[in-house]
Amino acid sequence: MKRHSDKPIKLTEVCLRDGSHVVRHQYSVEQVVTVAKALDDAGVPYIEVSHGDGLGGSTLQYGKSLVDEMTLIEEASKVCTNAKISTLLLPGIGTVHDLREAYKRGAGLVRVATHVTEADVAEQHISFARELGMEVHGFLMMAHSAPVSKLVEQANLMEQYGAGAVYITDSAGALLPSEVKERVKALRESLNIEIGFHAHNNLSLAVANTLVAIEEGATRIDGSVRCLGAGAGNTQTEVLVAVLNRMGMNLGIDLYKIMDIAEEIIGPILPSSQEIKKGSLTLGYAGVYSSFLLFAERAGKKYGIDPRDILIELGRRKAVGGQEDMIVDVTSELVKQKVEVINR
């Protein structure tokens, strides 16, 4: 592969953050410590730890965590000798106070995440993280939903605020390879900082899209062991490591060790296998935020509505992360429509 960047590729492992959605934020200290220690030993450079919706996400709206995320960050950082602990912050859910606390407990990197059109809400958090001495990256979510020119404009804002990298975050797992290529290329031509890519595997394109992103010049890549992440999960780390090794690229991650973590440590944690089923496929097809899936399935079951209809309607309304309350609104409207049809 001929890459458009000669910088090394650095992987952030997100099974302890995006994967938190899958376990409904019920990670125990023991699970987090075991996973973090093993990932560190396998050579993973960044391990992200927090509630799935980032710092401060443990609420009734997003789901309460079993263990306070500051404790998880602290315990994970104690057992890592080389890996840096990363965390995620969505301004409005997490605050600068949360950020200061996460830093004190051992987080060395924060990814400040906003909807793809709302980078301006990240300014304070990005500058504050820099003042603390943290590494800080911008994370533009639902990147499929805005024109490329908008993505470029918003990424430039994050660069101006002081981010060291900006991620194209395919929250819905909706981007096609050509669309990833177009976006990475546009950012490469406009930014002076690193470009990152975060995928969801809802259309079975996560590894392929990640390869396209790397080829086009992305150097910050997210992976999740055993695909543990919202919807159909993220780019499967152990698969990506194997594929990149075959292509002559070494991420510094031990292939056998990462395979063993997938099988022996993450396998038993998985509530069910991370397959692409009709629900997750609909996320990618309709361009819906991946962490909405479990909420839509729950609402669908409770009110007798096909979760795919809920997701399609959420996609039509262009619901963004943070609008979990819309899932119940949409479901009740669909129930009303169903009743009207029956009574006709």
Ligand X SMILES: C[C@H](O)CC(=O)C(=O)O
CB of 235 to ligand X, least distance (A): 11
Nearer to ligand X, 113 or 253 (CB): 113
Print the binding letters for residues 18-47 with Mn ion: x by CB under 5 A, - otherwise.
x-----------------------------
Q: Total residues contacting ligand X (rule CB under 6 A)?
A: 14
Confirm or deny that 226 is annotated as ligand binding: no
Confirm or deny that 115 is annotated as ligand binding: no
Work out the angle at residue 72's Cα, subtended by the Cα atoms of residues 69 and 76, and round it to the nearest 5 degrees.
Answer: 145
Rule CB under 6 A: is residue 52 a binding residue for ligand X? yes
Distance CA 212, CA 177 (A): 7
Rule CB under 6 A: is residue 12 a binding residue for ligand X? no
Catalytic residue among 4, 21, 137, 144: 21
Answer with the entry of Mn ion, ligand X, none that 210 interacts with (C-beta below 5 to 8 A by kind): none
Rule CB under 6 A: is residue 215 a binding residue for ligand X? no
Which one of 15-23, 114-122, 202-210, 259-267 is the stretch in contact with Mn ion (CB under 5 A)? 15-23
Indicate the SS3 state at residue 321.
coil
CB of 18 to Mn ion, least distance (A): 4
Which of residues 19, 43, 54, 164 is near ligand X by CB under 6 A? 54
- In the region spanning residues 313 to 332, those forming contacts with ligand X, defined by CB under 6 A, are 321
Nearer to ligand X, 52 or 196 (CB): 52
Nearer to ligand X, 62 or 103 (CB): 62
Confirm or deny that 98 is annotated as ligand binding: no
CB of 211 to Mn ion, least distance (A): 18
Rule CB under 5 A: is residue 222 a binding residue for Mn ion? no
CB of 200 to ligand X, least distance (A): 6
Rule CB under 5 A: is residue 53 a binding residue for Mn ion? no
Residue with tokens 């490469």: 188
Distance CA 268, CA 286 (A): 31
Structural contact between residues 205 and 233, judged by C-beta atoms closer than 8 angstroms: no
Structural contact between residues 313 and 282, judged by C-beta atoms closer than 8 angstroms: no
Rule CB under 6 A: is residue 307 a binding residue for ligand X? no
DSSP state letters, 76-98: HHHH-SSPEEEEEE-BTTB-HHH
Closest CA to 204 of 169, 226, 232, 181: 232
Dump strand ranges (E) for the chain: 10-13, 46-48, 84-89, 107-115, 135-141, 165-169, 194-198, 220-223
Active site residue 51: no
| Neighbouring-strand partners of residue 87 | 110
Q: Give the torsion sign (CA, 130, 132, 133, 136).
A: negative
Residue partners of 321: CB distance under 8 A and separation at least 6: 53, 90, 115, 141, 142, 171, 289, 291
Distance CA 204, CA 40 (A): 28
Which of residues 141, 163, 174, 253 is near ligand X by CB under 6 A? 141
Rule CB under 6 A: is residue 293 a binding residue for ligand X? no
- In the region spanning residues 90 to 129, those forming contacts with ligand X, defined by CB under 6 A, are 90, 113
Going from the C-alpha of 2 to that of each of 212, 217, 336, the distances in angstroms are 11, 10, 55
Which residues would be at the binding site for ligand X (CB under 6 A)? 18, 52-54, 90, 113, 141, 169, 171, 198, 230, 290-291, 321
Which residues would be at the binding site for Mn ion (CB under 5 A)? 18
Q: Which residues are catalytic?
A: 21
